[in-house]
Amino acid sequence: MQLFQVAPAPVGWALVLHGGAGGRVEELSLEEAGTYTEGLTAAYQAGAAVLAAGGSALDAVCATVEKLEDDPLFNAGRGAALTSEGTAELDACVMTGEGRAGAVAASQFARNPVHAARKVLEETPAVLLIAPTAERIAGWDLQTVTPDHFTTPARQQQLRRVQDGLLAGSRHGTVGAVAVDVHGRVAAATSTGGMVNQSEGRVGDTPIVGAGTYARDGVGAISCTGEGEAFIQGVVAHDVAARVRYLGVDLAQAITDTVTAELAPRGAMGGLIAVGADGSIVVAHNSPAMFAAYSDGDRLVTHT
């Protein structure tokens, strides 16, 4: 497993994001004019601007993930992977350190599923809503789109190649962000289009609180990417936080121990990003690569 750590920065806030574990998708790299580095940088800058102005961790992670959802290079929002039927079913979750969460699964009408997840948190008694309608999205004053907004030519080509046996289906596409603000509050947001060629109705770990997304003030926030079924069964995001909270170990050790205990025995690959209550940052993955961005105190670091 590769693991990167950054000590707390003197600015009093911290942000780290990921654009999925795995590697570049050939069809996207050839077709899109943008680059992964530019996409990660823009997303980081969106969230960092919120935090630098004294904004909340929740606002920051939502702003960050919104940028990644709008970038077709990443498997979330506009760049969502397609199901076996050629449709996009998007999942997202947000959680604050005070223990509140909201999530959507199989979303098809919200341009930015992360904002729909936040609406579930803020405006409903529910935690998880399945397939919110276009009318509900509009009623939340969010931008609606038709399902074909998400079926880009590059993702259609990717699906064809997977179904023809010319390409192995990626199991690692997700985006996410975690942050701690100047008030010491933490938050996490995760969004995904799922796995290429997945069955319609399949839901992974992203919208499952404690599996792919978790946050607790005084402990930290975690967002995961990888083989969702393993992350659900291992309750991976919560397991990391529990090790910090109850065993008193640091974030890096907690992540290492969780991967060893929950992912390795299942033969699962993926990655995690985490921010501690003190502003420390950890990026870890046991996959060949992982997209991520964070500041090391002197400069913006991007992993592509």
Instruction: State the catalytic residues.
Output: 174
Under DSSP, is residue 6 helix (H, G, I), strand (E, B) or coil?
Answer: strand
Phi, psi (degrees; rounded to nearest 5) at 212: -105, -10
| Residue 132 tokens, joined | 């919110």
d(CA 152, CA 155): 5
Cβ distance 179 to 48 under 8 Å? no
Phi, psi (degrees; rounded to nearest 5) at 157: -65, -40
Q: Which helix (H) or strand (E) holds 4?
A: strand 2-6
Write the single-letter amino acid at 177.
A
* Bridge partners, 295 (sequence order): 300
